[in-house]
Structure 1
Amino acid sequence: MGWAELQTTDVPKAERFDRWLDLLSQDLAPTHIASEHRGDFRASTAALELGPVNVSVLSFPTLTSVRTPQLIRRSDPELWELGYMARGTVVVEQARNQAQIRPGDFLLYDTSQPTQMWVTEGGRIIISSVASREVVYGFHPFRGFRPGSGCRLRT
């Protein structure tokens, strides 16, 4: 069980954004991230490994995140990520679907698919990541499912 944590205010201003990105790329799927707050990036992340599941808590200012086909080809951890939006608003686009996620909403996405996210207000999100090979399921979350559908981790 591993634990990693970063408060960017503990790091010199010039290094904050890059250090935050480094930690994210270790715990989540690599993405291109841009922020107008890069010069004084105030964010935090904490990540915990719980067997096949990783849990991350991220707090950040407005930003954009893009996971391109090129990044997927270069590094595809083949994860499903379930996010709970605790604060802020994010617009997510994946598989020709777009949704606005607000506080109290959940988001499920596949790191093997191109994704764009626009955080329009500073946010806080709790993300649980699990390798898709660890999940036994009878539906594909991006092709629709009916009530009562579900999945479980392999044991």
Structure 2
Amino acid sequence: MTLVTIDTSAVAESDRLDFWRSTVCDNFVALNVAPTGTGLVAGRVTAANVADTHLRRISSVPHTFERTERQVRRADEDYLQIALARRGRTLVVQDGREAVIGPGEFVLYDSSRPFTFATSDSFEYSVCLHPKRDLPLSAAEMASSTAITFDGRRGVGALLPPLLSSLDRAVGDDLPEAGQAAVARTIGDLFVALVRSRVPAGAQNLHLVRARAYIDDHLADPDLDPAQVAAACAISLSYLHKVFADADESVAGRIREQRLQGAWADLRRSDLPIGAVGARWGMPDPAAFSRSFRTRFGLSPREHRRS
């Protein structure tokens, strides 16, 4: 768990703004980064990873950070995030709600939908980005918990600041892979506790869990469809659709999204031909794969690989 610190003071004044914008997008998610002052931008980011969970601390002058619909479409980041205010006050907007956080308060927000952070003065946050795929939460539960102010001094919320502070202190130590996975699970458990402390929890439907697992294990099968999933789970097709609808998903949408996310990652790390990547993820028709990829991410598979 290597701790990395990036500071704009190490960069020539003429390059600082571009450097800062790149630093923020590289360490968080793609954003419009707009300092609201007229002087030189000054900022600092400290970054570390625990398994697939990202821990960040950021401080700077007043800003507006905006995640747009276009940026969401073009990205593969899919995190539920926590921003804990250490200094300054911030307006957070997502999912039709607005929250204001000050020191000791925090919000949850979702990288897969647009959001805005607008600070009124200089600020400092601790931020945790946790993969949504590792959270046993429905899409409806997560969407109902964003842009709500949590008090980090009371209730379940009081668990968060000391956890993030202890991680800040421990993150420089060597921790085996198994230990990192255990720490990441602990962080995920806290996310679940926070969401369900504010959002009424429905019991996780066992059929939904089984159906998602079956889909994830059979994405390479080009014939995978809702009927096959229902048969494998020994439930009716109509009930399968209901189970997914209750979780604010669709069966076909889940299959398509998981395939495209897998292809997105493979195009970054694999030298396979583009058509072979599509076929590997159950999309053997190159033209159809390219159309679906462009619709989801806003660029073609070839453009993504080139970038």
Q: Which residue of 1 aligns with 2:55?
A: 55
Between Structure 1 and Structure 2, the one with more helix by share is 2
Residue equivalent to 1:79? 79
Residue identity opposite 1:23 in structure 2: T
Question: CA 1:67/1:105 → structure 2, altered by over 3 Å: closer, same or farther?
Answer: same
Structure ranking higher in strand proportion: 1
5 Å-filtered alignment, 1:5-154, equals 5-37=5-37, 39-137=39-137, 140-143=141-144, 147=197
15-24 vs 136-145, which deviates more? Answer: 136-145
Asked if the contact 2:36/2:64 (under 8 Å) is kept, the reply is no
TM-score normalised over the length of structure 2: 0.46
Residue of structure 2 in register with 1:153 after alignment: none
Q: Distance in 2 between matches of 1:31 and 1:72?
A: 9
The whole-number CA distance in structure 1 between the counterparts of 2:43 and 2:102 is: 19
Q: Secondary structure at the match of 1:136?
A: coil
Structure with greater contact order relative to length (CA < 8 Å, sep ≥ 6): 1
Alpha-carbon distance between aligned partners in 2 of 1:53 and 1:129, rounded to the nearest angstrom: 6
Q: Is the 8 A contact 1:90 1:117 kept in 2?
A: yes
Q: Which amino acid aligns with 2:197?
A: P
1:13 positional shift: 1.2
- The structure with more radius of gyration: 2
Identity among equivalent positions (%) equals 21
Deviation at 1:57, TM superposition (A): 0.3
Unaligned runs of 5+ in 2: 146-194, 202-307
Report the AA paired with residue 97 of structure 1.
R
The answer for the alignment partner of 2:179 in structure 1 is none
Return 5+ residue gaps in structure 1 as ranges: 151-155
C-alpha deviation, 1:15, in angstroms: 1.3
